[in-house]
Amino acid sequence: MKPERLAQKLQIAGAYLPLAAGIILAVHAAELLRNTRETMAARAEETRRLRELAAGMELVYSARAAFESLPDARLRDIRSALSPGGALPAAETVRSDRKELTDGWTHRIEEIVFQSIDAPGALQRALNCETLRPPWRLTTLRIAALPGQEGRTKITMTFEGLEKASL
């Protein structure tokens, strides 16, 4: 082959080589982009699901934060909380449970029975307990009218509360 022809062929090869490489790269890139698009779509869906899970925790975190912000997180004695103005009517504690939670928090349950009390008065006392910080919260209430005693009832109240011994 003549040197000029060879040089010409080399020139052509030199020009077409980047083009061929470009085409190969472009095909590869197109395939990669297609895979990436699928991966991105999958990742977006997974991230959306994680965000949904995170949204479900918002209430938990805000509730916890409300408690954590209390300067004194010790619960008042339930019996004294039920008698803010003085003596407590005949009442007895029938159950007292506690369960340790995370980070020093304790979940407490107190069940109190008033053998004879007017219902509105008892509810007012319960309301007082719920306004404390941290609150005692009424979780079950059983009212039974006392036969022959107009306006008097036997009331069983279960309170639950959260406390932390020291912050």
Q: At what angle do helices 58-68 and 3-56 cross, to 10 degrees?
A: 60
- Compute CA 121 distance to the chain's CA centroid, rounded to the nearest angstrom: 35
Interface with other proteins, residue 39, by CB under 8 A: yes
Least distance between other proteins and beta carbon 158 (Å): 8
**Contacts of other proteins in 3-22 (CB under 8 A):** 11-12, 14-22
Q: By CB under 8 A, is residue 94 in contact with other proteins?
A: no
Report strand pairing: 136-145 vs 91-100.
unpaired
Q: How would you classify the pairing of strands 136-145 and 153-164?
A: antiparallel
Contact between 44 and other proteins per CB under 8 A: yes
Beta strands in the chain (DSSP E): 91-100, 105-117, 136-145, 153-164
Q: Say which residues have a Cβ less than 8 Å from residue 112's Cβ, sequence separation at least 6.
A: 78, 79, 82, 91, 92, 93, 94, 156, 157, 158, 159
Options 6, 7, 9, 43; binder of other proteins; rule CB under 8 A:
43
Q: What is the smallest separation between the CB atom of 81 and other proteins, expressed in angstroms?
A: 13
Name which position in 9, 28, 95, 133 contacts other proteins (CB under 8 A): 28
Tell me the two tokens of residue 153: 């009832």
Residues that bind other proteins (CB under 8 A): 11-12, 14-23, 25-26, 28-29, 32-33, 36, 39-40, 42-44, 46-47, 49-51, 53-54, 56-57, 59-60, 63-64, 66-67, 101-102, 107, 119-120, 123, 126-127, 130, 135, 137-145, 160, 162
